């Protein structure tokens, strides 16, 4: 049996069913009345007063007005463990409520933290490089370990890797939330079915699309707006120059949220997006999760959640990286000192240092100085 709801909640579901994901239209209709309950009663009394609305909306208003319709909708939702929340409800995400057109109803499976200390959306290419995969997992893990909520779109690639990294933070209470461009009861992409189940177990799957709604291309920009709104900041990891990633970052800017980007190798296709954002001043460059933590001093990484030091064989690294590590084993050095000692091209030096940082082998220090990250890495020269 479906849970009992208030007259207000019934009216909200009635109007949301008719207006679907069009939050602005929902608000326009609701604003004509003191409450949504009055709106529902007015439609029942004289539907002609709503004749200015699109035909599809009028048809759906009448459909949802039928006796037992909302009860049957709730029963279907209950069978699939789907819950709902709305602006003003205690479970509705506080950050989402801050934007101009928040979803009139947010559907979810799992559990939502309505006011996380920090939440960060991690976005990027559906076809990341091995480097991008490793970076996404690392940021997801360390952010969740520090108590942050990792938001993703559950797409293949960077999104899924960030969510998996967050789920690896075993001590995190609510490590990740995935925002879908379809109903929360639709697994998309199908290849991420296992990830979908794991997210529900530890966090939540959310969507403003009605349960049962199938994926459409035009849904993704709508979903992206919710993703960025659910986060204090958005982190871009590998993306082409023009992509859905740039759309999400644009929404974050419009919503007054922070945008960060992981720099990539110059000339690589997947580096064009984040490097372009950094060069245009649209994103702050970050080289490690610690750079994110420094922006939000509310968080820290508990020692017990840090990964044990990795054993790294110098023989497994590229020749330039081996040379850098051998120098740094003697102590920290500046960029200029490394260049003078190794006589490497500037581009090669920058690329090698960046790769070593994201591998967790070296640390970037103030004054453009570098050292071995001894807390995370043990080097063996065999």
Instruction: Tell which CATH architecture fits domain 119-303.
Output: 3-Layer(aba) Sandwich (3.40)
Q: Residues with Cβ < 8 Å from 191, sequence gap 6 or more?
A: 156
Q: What φ, ψ does residue 296 adopt, rounded to 5°?
A: -125, 90
- Residue pLDDT tens, the chain, 382 long: 456 899 999 999 999 999 999 999 999 999 999 999 999 999 999 999 999 999 999 999 999 999 999 999 999 999 999 999 999 999 999 999 999 999 999 999 999 999 999 999 999 999 999 989 999 999 999 999 999 999 999 999 999 999 999 999 998 989 999 999 999 999 999 999 999 999 999 999 999 999 999 999 999 999 999 999 999 999 999 998 877 888 899 999 999 999 999 998 888 888 999 999 999 999 999 988 888 988 887 555 444 444 555 677 777 888 899 899 889 888 889 988 999 899 888 888 888 888 888 777 888 887 788 888 876 777 776 5
For the chain, the domains span 1-79, 119-303, 308-380
CA 327 to the chain's CA centroid: 38
Chain position carrying tokens 């009028």? 58
Is residue 140 within 8 A of residue 122, CB to CB? The reply is yes
Chain position carrying tokens 């909708």? 73
The CA distance from 11 to 104, in Å, is 11
Sheet of 362-365: strand order equals: 333-334, 369-372, 362-365
**Beta-sheet pairing, 119-124 with 149-152:** parallel
Chain position carrying tokens 């599809």? 56
- Rg from Cα positions in the chain: 24
Q: Quote the DSSP letter at residue 269.
A: G
Task: For Cα atoms 2, 206, 156, give the angle at the middle one, nearest 5 degrees.
Answer: 135
Instruction: Tell which CATH architecture fits domain 308-380.
Output: Orthogonal Bundle (1.10)
């Amino acid at each position: 049996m479906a849970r009992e709801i208030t007259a207000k909640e019934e009216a909200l579901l009635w109007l949301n069913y008719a207006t679907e994901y069009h939050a602005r239209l929902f608000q326009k209709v609701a604003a004509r009345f003191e409450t949504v309950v009055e709106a529902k009663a007015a439609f029942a009394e004289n539907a002609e007063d709503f004749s200015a609305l699109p035909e599809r909306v009028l048809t759906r208003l009448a459909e949802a007005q039928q006796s037992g319709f909302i009860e049957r909708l709730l029963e279907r939702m209950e069978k699939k463990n789907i819950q709902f929340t709305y602006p003003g409800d205690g479970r509705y995400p506080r950050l989402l409520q801050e934007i101009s057109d928040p979803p009139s109803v947010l559907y979810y499976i799992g559990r939502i933290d309505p006011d996380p200390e920090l939440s960060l959306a991690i976005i990027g290419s559906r076809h990341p490089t091995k480097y991008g995969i490793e970076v996404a997992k690392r940021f997801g893990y360390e952010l969740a370990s520090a108590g942050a909520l990792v938001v993703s779109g559950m797409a293949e690639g960077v999104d899924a890797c960030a969510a998996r990294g967050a789920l690896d933070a075993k001590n995190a209470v609510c490590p990740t939330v995935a925002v879908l461009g379809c109903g929360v009861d639709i697994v998309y992409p199908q290849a991420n079915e296992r990830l979908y189940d794991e997210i529900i177990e530890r966090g939540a799957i959310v969507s403003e699309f009605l349960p049962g709604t199938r994926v459409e291309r035009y849904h993704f920009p709508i979903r992206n707006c919710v993703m960025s709104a659910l986060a204090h900041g958005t982190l871009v990891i590998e993306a082409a120059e023009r992509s859905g990633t740039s759309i999400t970052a644009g929404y974050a800017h419009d919503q007054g949220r922070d945008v960060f980007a992981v720099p990539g190798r110059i000339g690589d296709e997947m580096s064009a997006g984040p490097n372009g954002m950094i060069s245009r001043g649209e994103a702050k460059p970050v080289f490690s999760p610690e750079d994110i933590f420094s922006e939000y001093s509310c968080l820290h990484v508990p020692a017990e959640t840090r990964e044990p030091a990795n054993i790294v064989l110098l023989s497994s690294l590229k020749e330039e990286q081996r040379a850098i590590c051998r120098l740094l084993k003697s102590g920290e050095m500046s960029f200029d000192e490394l260049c003078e000692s190794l006589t490497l091209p500037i581009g090669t030096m920058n690329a090698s240092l960046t790769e070593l940082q994201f591998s967790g082998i070296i640390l970037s220090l103030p004054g453009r100085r570098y050292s071995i990250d001894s807390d995370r890495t043990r080097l063996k020269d065999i």
